[in-house]
């Protein structure tokens, strides 16, 4: 089975970024962020190189930063169901969009990547080539997950990709990062 990384479909959709990197989440390792969380403003990125940015803004999810999945509030239960582990939702403010969005922070991580004996350079080479090895027994019934060692990324299974497609969740793109035999 293929394992994918989760990212934004920035070719077809604009995406959300925090107004201020100091207050917004631009990277997370899966540790809890809920205590003391205050809603932060996120804006629709507009490419300054494009005079008329025609990418769509009717997305349901955004994941420009690899470990920060932003989802329309109406789809929070689906993410919990697919993750099979604890997920906290951090409300963000999107003044340009009429819907409520949340950062879906998967708290629990698993040791899914078989990285024994790999240097950082070897890992990055396998990651870029989409040739990493994952342990399907550890992934088990989780459809989206974080790896314990490389926990600043979201990985998912083909079942997650299928469920996202069935639910018409737009704005995400999935890239093969390896296999789980």
pLDDT tens per residue across span 116-164:
888 889 988 998 999 999 999 999 999 999 998 888 889 999 999 999 9
Average pLDDT, the chain: 91
**CA 165, 166, 171, 174: dihedral to nearest 10 degrees?**
-20
Number of domains present in the structure of the chain: 1
Residues 6+ apart with CB under 8 A from 17: 24, 26, 42, 43, 45, 64
Q: Residue 153, Cβ neighbours under 10 Å: how many? A: 19
Instruction: Compute the radius of gyration of the chain from its Cα atoms.
Output: 16
Can you tell me the mean pLDDT for 5-30? 84
Q: How far apart are CA 88 and CA 74, in angstroms?
A: 15
Find the mean pLDDT for residues 107-124: 89
- Domain containing 92 equals 2-179
pLDDT in tens, 74-93: 999 999 999 988 899 999 99
Average pLDDT over residues 88-114: 93
Q: Residue 40 class from Cβ within 10 Å (0-12 exposed, 13-18 middle, 19+ buried)?
A: middle
């Amino acid at each position: 089975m293929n394992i994918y990384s989760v990212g934004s479909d920035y070719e077809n959709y604009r995406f959300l970024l925090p107004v201020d990197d100091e207050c917004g989440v631009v990277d997370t390792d899966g540790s809890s962020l809920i205590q003391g969380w205050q809603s932060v403003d996120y804006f629709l990125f507009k490419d300054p190189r494009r005079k008329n940015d025609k990418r769509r803004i009717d997305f349901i999810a955004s994941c420009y930063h690899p470990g920060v999945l932003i989802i329309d509030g109406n789809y929070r239960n689906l993410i919990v169901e697919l993750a099979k582990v604890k997920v906290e939702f951090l409300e963000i403010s999107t003044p340009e969009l009429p819907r409520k969005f949340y950062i879906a922070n998967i708290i629990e991580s698993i040791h899914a990547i078989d990285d024994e004996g790999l240097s950082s350079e070897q890992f990055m080479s396998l990651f870029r080539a989409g040739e990493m090895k994952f342990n399907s027994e550890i992934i088990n019934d989780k459809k989206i997950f974080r790896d314990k060692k490389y926990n600043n990324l979201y990985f998912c299974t083909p079942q997650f990709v299928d469920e996202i497609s069935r639910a018409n969740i737009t704005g995400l793109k999935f890239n093969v990062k390896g296999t789980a035999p």
